[in-house]
């Protein structure tokens, strides 16, 4: 999803590789220290009720944020800023979002992380390697430099904006710590375990990115099945989106129901379970749409995604 955005706005795969790497880390820039500090704060049972693996063994909580404080926990999250990453969404010739670290786009309140896209009264210059003028600002956070994990169970409970017309896009996703380990996107992987388009408000459309031969897609064996259009949600309510990541298999659930199973077989490497054999970070994005889902000038804004919690187990 993110690579598609970059290609559509002309930034290219090289810019995608620095979308996170261009942002500063906490704790002096040492990701190992940052990950240790987060993990040390996770107590047994911190993720709530015990959740069992398919083999009957319990998952172990490794990361949790219920957003019960009055501000974003910067030991766990970093706010995306276009000025340091060049990350942007939308259309280059139309509505285009500038990602800001601002209470109008990213804030914690009422037990939720609130990620918003807003329309300013007047256009402003969005600082980037190629500055651009826009009226739109948006919010995104990630665990870059704070937390990452290979395999496990990742879960987000969230409510998307109420808009039922084109223009908005929201994504709950995982991105590799080393985005070029097996080559440029999509060779090194990306897991959009929940992706929303306001043009299709009653569905979530997950998408798994890696290199594979389309001729090998087999829905009977769930081989290289990278997306699903059958994941129904209640747009007016909080829904729970879950990824269970095992060696060789990715399973996506919506409100506890299996929505997509992919027994992935990448064709750009012979390494077992590649490219999903390495640590990925968590990212949460409120975005502007593109193409047939591009934002019209009269779209109602602001629009906010409310995230109730993020939980990760191993």
Nearest-angstrom CA–CA distance, 266 and 272: 9
How much is the pLDDT for 97?
Answer: 98
Q: Which of the four pLDDT bands, split at 50, 70 and 90, describes residue 22?
A: very low
How much is the pLDDT for 44?
Answer: 63
Please identify which residue in the block is written with the tokens 């015990």.
50
| Dihedral angle, C-alpha 36, 103, 119, 199, nearest 10 ° | 50
Indicate the length of the chain as a whole number: 314
How much is the pLDDT for 118?
Answer: 98
pLDDT tens-digit readout, 269-301? 999 999 999 999 999 999 999 999 999 988 999
- Return the axis-axis angle of helices 12-21 and 2-9, rounded to nearest 10°: 120
CB-based contact 262:298 (threshold 8 Å): no
Count of C-beta atoms within a 10 Å radius of residue 51? 16
| Average confidence score pLDDT of the chain | 89
Helix (H) or strand (E) holding 32: helix 31-40
How, if at all, do strands 132-138 and 96-99 pair? parallel
Q: Which long-range contacts (CB under 8 A, 24 or more apart) does 3-9 make?
A: 3/185, 3/186, 3/190, 3/209, 4/290, 5/88, 5/89, 5/287, 5/290, 8/91, 8/92, 8/290, 8/291, 9/88, 9/89, 9/90, 9/91, 9/92, 9/96, 9/290
> For 10-16, what is the mean pLDDT?
34
Both structure tokens of 27: 């704790």
**To the nearest whole percent, how much of the chain has pLDDT over 90?**
83
From 18-32, 153-167, 186-200, the region with the lowest mean pLDDT: 18-32
pLDDT tens-digit readout, 139-162? 999 999 999 999 999 999 999 999
In order of 61, 123, 269, 304, the CA distances from 300 in angstroms are: 39, 17, 46, 11
**To the nearest whole percent, how much of the chain has pLDDT over 70?**
87
Q: Which of the four pLDDT bands, split at 50, 70 and 90, describes residue 10?
A: very low
> For 18-24, what is the mean pLDDT?
46
Both structure tokens of 307: 């995230």
Instruction: State pTM to two decimals.
Output: 0.89
Give the residue, 152 or 15, on which the prediction is more confident. 152
> For 87-114, what is the mean pLDDT?
96
Helix (H) or strand (E) holding 225: none
pLDDT > 60? residue 26? no
How much is the pLDDT for 298?
Answer: 87
Sign of CA dihedral 170, 289, 209, 285: negative
Bond from prior residue into 10 cis (ω within 30 degrees of 0): no
pLDDT tens-digit readout, 238-252? 999 999 999 999 999
Nearest-angstrom CA–CA distance, 106 and 96: 17
How much is the pLDDT for 19?
Answer: 53
**Cα 266 to the chain's mean position, in Å?**
21
CB-based contact 212:226 (threshold 8 Å): yes
Give the residue, 161 or 44, on which the prediction is more confident. 161
Nearest-angstrom CA–CA distance, 64 and 80: 20
């Amino acid at each position: 999803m993110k690579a598609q955005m970059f290609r559509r706005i002309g930034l290219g795969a090289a810019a995608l590789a620095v979308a996170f790497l261009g942002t500063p880390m906490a704790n002096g820039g040492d990701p190992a220290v940052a990950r240790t500090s987060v993990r040390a704060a996770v107590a047994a049972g911190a993720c709530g009720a015990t959740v069992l693996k398919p083999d009957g063994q319990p998952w172990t909580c490794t990361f949790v944020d219920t957003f019960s404080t009055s501000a974003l926990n910067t030991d766990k999250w970093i706010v995306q800023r276009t000025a340091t990453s060049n990350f942007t969404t939308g259309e280059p010739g139309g509505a285009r979002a500038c990602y800001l670290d601002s209470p109008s786009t990213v804030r914690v309140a009422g037990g939720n992380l609130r990620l918003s896209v807003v329309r300013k009264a007047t256009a402003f210059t969005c600082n980037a390697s190629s500055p651009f003028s826009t009226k739109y600002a948006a919010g995104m956070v990630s665990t870059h430099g704070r937390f990452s994990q290979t395999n496990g169970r990742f879960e987000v409970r969230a409510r998307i904006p109420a808009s039922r017309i084109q223009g908005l896009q929201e994504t709950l996703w995982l991105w590799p710590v080393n985005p070029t380990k097996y080559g440029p996107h999509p060779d090194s992987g990306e897991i959009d375990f929940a992706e929303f388009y306001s043009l299709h408000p009653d569905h979530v459309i997950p998408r798994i990115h890696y290199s594979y031969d389309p001729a090998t897609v087999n829905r009977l064996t769930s081989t290289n099945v990278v997306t699903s259009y059958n994941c129904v949600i209640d747009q007016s309510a909080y829904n729970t989106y879950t990824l269970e990541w095992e060696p060789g298999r990715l399973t996506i659930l919506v409100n506890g129901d299996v929505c997509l199973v992919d027994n992935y077989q990448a064709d750009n490497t012979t390494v077992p379970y590649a490219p999903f054999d390495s640590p990925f970070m968590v990212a949460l994005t409120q975005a502007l749409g593109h193409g047939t889902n591009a934002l019209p000038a009269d779209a109602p804004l602001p629009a906010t995604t409310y995230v109730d919690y993020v939980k990760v187990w191993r």
